[in-house]
């Protein structure tokens, strides 16, 4: 039995912020479009940026495949209890959610909830940040509110045998222990795949292909629109600004503005750009990189009379929306049938 639970060990807040800052710098270095957007937001009205969440992609390998000469095990059972995820499995290779969450939970992050996407063979957990004092003018990762963390994992065992073989070829035992280091450096733990292997994975799961070539690099970050002070503090202005300035916005599902069922969680996502990647066989191809998102969390009805200058994060809509998340995860699709300028 493997248990993923909250930790009370604590650690240096400065160290935690430095790790997140390194992850951010790597993301910006590897994603020119996202860096341009990040800089634009701060250049308008001298805005001070804050983050809603960071999103990572991982692999979950629970069973071995008899086709590659090993023993099959039954799929793991996963149950969710408040503040605790419990996995029952015969074999865990350590590349899934826990490969990243264990570090952050040691520094005070707590499980906020989970979502499942059976069609995509993906499940995710989101972590709420530790309780820390943040001054009214705190911003960024230096002295601002810490972001939520969203960690998704692809259930590799549910893919075709051909896709499983490709992924298992690269995921070596115990390699997931270096997940945080990989994310901060932007380096793969495993060897690069060939272009043929990458394109074979794309046919079945673009998530799998993206994660195999980008590894633990931040998949996307989300700017907290509700924490901004000037024009970008309105999600509608965000949408209009980037449309008018020629950026492609994610319109998968038909709408640019993704709204939760209760109308209190609003999200706009810029479509991922393509960057040139050289594969192990020497072939260079343009593939989708990371992207950037904007999130506005509105005040909950029971707090509508709280003065605006007294509104805190707990007064606002928390968590994530299943439908929104499903559409937003498609921002790295190689072909956006509904792109818009």
Question: Can you give the pLDDT of all 341 residues of the chain as single tens digits?
Answer: 233 444 444 468 999 999 999 999 999 999 999 999 999 999 988 889 999 999 999 999 875 543 333 333 333 434 444 433 333 332 336 899 999 999 999 999 999 999 999 999 999 999 999 988 887 777 889 888 999 999 999 999 999 999 999 999 999 877 889 999 999 999 999 999 999 999 999 999 999 999 999 999 999 999 999 999 899 999 999 999 999 999 999 886 667 888 888 999 999 999 889 999 999 999 999 999 999 999 999 999 999 999 988 888 889 888 887 665 566 556 555 443 334 44
pLDDT attached to residue 86: 37
pLDDT attached to residue 98: 93
Integer CA distances (angstroms), 180 to 101, 140, 307, in order = 9, 20, 40
DSSP H/E element including 223: strand 220-224
Mutual angle of helices 206-214 and 195-204, in 10-degree steps: 140
Domains of the chain: 2-332 (3.10.180.50)
Residue 280 near residue 252, CB atoms below 8 Å = no
pLDDT attached to residue 340: 41
SS (H, E, C) 255-311: CCCEECCCCCEEEEEECCCEEEEECCCCCEEEEECCEEEEEEECECHHHCCCCHHHC
DSSP H/E element including 151: strand 148-155
pLDDT attached to residue 309: 84
Residue 242 near residue 270, CB atoms below 8 Å = yes
pLDDT attached to residue 62: 74
- Residue 249 is classified by DSSP as B
Integer CA distances (angstroms), 68 to 63, 65, 71, 166, in order = 12, 6, 9, 11
């Amino acid at each position: 039995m493997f248990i993923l639970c909250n930790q009370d060990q604590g650690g240096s807040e400065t160290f935690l912020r430095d790790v997140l800052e390194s992850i951010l710098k790597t993301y910006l270095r590897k994603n020119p479009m996202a860096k341009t957007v990040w800089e634009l937001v701060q250049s308008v009205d001298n805005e001070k940026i804050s983050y809603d969440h960071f999103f990572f992609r991982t692999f979950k390998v629970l069973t071995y495949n008899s086709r590659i000469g090993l023993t099959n095990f039954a799929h793991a059972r996963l149950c969710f209890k408040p503040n605790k995820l419990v996995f029952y499995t015969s074999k865990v290779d350590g590349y899934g959610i826990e490969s990243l969450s264990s570090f952050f939970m040691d520094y005070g992050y707590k499980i906020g909830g989970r979502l499942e996407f059976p069609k995509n063979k993906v499940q995710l957990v989101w972590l709420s940040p530790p309780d820390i004092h943040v001054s009214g003018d705190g911003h960024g990762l230096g002295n601002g509110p810490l972001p939520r963390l969203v960690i998704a994992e692809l259930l590799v065992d549910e893919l075709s045998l051909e896709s499983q073989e490709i992924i298992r070829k690269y995921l070596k035992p115990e390699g997931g222990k270096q997940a945080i280091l990989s994310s901060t450096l932007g380096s793969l733990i495993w060897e690069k795949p060939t272009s043929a292997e990458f394109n074979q994975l794309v046919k079945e799961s673009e998530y799998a292909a993206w994660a195999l070539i980008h590894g633990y690099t931040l998949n996307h970050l989300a700017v907290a629109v509700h924490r901004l002070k000037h024009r970008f503090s309105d999600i509608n202005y965000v949408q209009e600004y980037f449309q008018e300035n020629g950026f492609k916005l994610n319109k998968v599902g038909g709408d640019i503005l993704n709204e939760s069922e209760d109308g209190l969680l609003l999200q706009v996502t810029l479509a991922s750009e393509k960057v040139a990647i050289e594969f192990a066989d020497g072939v260079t191809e343009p593939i989708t990189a990371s992207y950037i998102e904007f999130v506005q969390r509105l005040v909950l009805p029971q707090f509508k009379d709280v003065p605006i200058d007294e509104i805190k994060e707990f007064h606002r809509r928390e968590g994530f929306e299943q439908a929104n998340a499903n559409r937003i995860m498609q921002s790295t699709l190689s072909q956006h049938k509904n792109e818009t300028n």
